Structure 1
Amino acid sequence: MPKRESFPIEKIFVPTKQKKTIKPEVVGEIAESILDIGQQAPISVWRDGDRLVLVEGLHRLEACKALGETTIIGVLVPAELAQHKPQLAERPEVEAERIKMARLKQLRLEKEAADASTSALKSAGATQAPRTRSMKGVRDNPKASPGRTAGSARKTLSDWITQQKGSGGRY
C-alpha cells in the first residue's frame, strides 16, 4: 500500500481533460466534509520531473484549493500505473450506474409531464376560451420567433413535452 504524503497544491498539475469534468456542487460538498471531518481519502499523483500530475482526486484537490489549503494528502503512484489506470467510463459498475441514473431521470421527466398534462387538462376545463399568444414585438424584431417573443417566459422541458403531447407533435 502506498504511503500517504503531504503534497504542495501549487506543484500539482491537472490535465486539461480532467479539468473539464469539474462539478462545482461536488466540490462544495467535499469542502464542507473536509471542514467537518478532514480529508479522508488521499488523492493520487505521479511525479513528472519537478511537478506532480493528478491521477485521481480532482474534486478533493479543488475543494482544498477553495478552502485556502496549501497542501493536500495524497499518494505517489508509479507513472506506469498512472498511464494504465482504467478510465471511469470503462468500468462496468460506473456504466451501470450511469444507465440507471439516466433511466431514473427519464422516468421523473415522464411523471412531471403527466402531472403537468393532468393539471393543464383540469385548468383547461375550467376556462371557456383558449388563450392566444400575443405577437407583440415580432414585427419589430425580425429575429424574434413567434414562440419566443421578448416578453415570453422560458419554458421547462416538462412544459415543452406537455405542449408537444397536447398538440399531437412528436418529441
Structure 2
Amino acid sequence: MIKVQEIPLQQIYRPLPRENDQDKVKALMESIAQIGQQEPIDVLEVDGKYYGFSGCHRYEACQRLGKETILARVRKAPRAVLKMHIA
C-alpha cells in the first residue's frame, strides 16, 4: 500500500549520491516557494526508516529552501527490496 505524507527531510536516507542539475534545482526552488511542492518524491519505508532514490532535485530544492518536511509517496517494503535498489 502506498500513502502520501509529509516526512522530515532529516529522516530520509539517500544511499546513492547524485550530482544534481543546479539550474533545475533553482527552478524547482522558485516553483516550490511560490506554489508549494506539486509532485511527491518516492520513498521506501524499510524497518521504520525512509530511503529515497528518486526526486533528487525536489529533495535538494526543499533542503535549500529550509523546509523541515517533504511530501512523499511512501511504499513499505522488506529489506530484500531495499537491497535490490542499492545493488
Question: Any unmatched runs of 5+ in structure 1?
Answer: 85-171
Aligned length: 82
Matches within 5 A, 1:4-153: 4-16=4-16, 19-79=17-77, 80=81, 83=84
1:72–1:82: structure 2 CA closer, same or farther, 3 Å change rule? farther
Which runs of 5 or more residues in structure 2 are unaligned?
Answer: none
Please give the alpha-carbon distance, in whole angstroms, between the structure 2 residues aligned to 1:71 and 1:57.
Answer: 14
Larger radius of gyration: 1
Q: Which residue of 2 aligns with 1:2?
A: 2
Q: Distance in 2 between matches of 1:41 and 1:82?
A: 26
RMSD value over aligned CA atoms?
A: 2.2
3-state SS, counterpart of residue 28 of structure 2: helix
Judging by fraction of residues, say which structure has more strand: 2
Per the normalisation by structure 2, the TM-score is 0.79
Q: Are the counterparts in 1 of residues 46 and 76 from structure 2 also a CA contact under 8 Å?
A: no
- Measured at CA, do residues 67 and 82 of structure 1 come closer, stay the same or move farther in structure 2, by a change above 3 Å? farther
Which of the pair has the greater relative contact order for Cα pairs under 8 Å at 6+ separation?
2
Q: Which has the higher helix share?
A: 1
Percent of aligned pairs sharing the same letter: 35
Shift of 1:83: 4.0
Once residues 19 and 74 of structure 2 are traced to their aligned partners in structure 1, the CA distance between those partners, rounded to angstroms, is 22
Please identify, of 63-72 and 52-61, the stretch whose mean Cα deviation from structure 2 is larger.
Answer: 52-61
- The runs of at least 4 aligned residues of structure 1 exceeding 6 Å deviation read none
Query: Would the aligned equivalents of 1:6 and 1:73 in 2 still touch at CA under 8 Å?
Result: yes
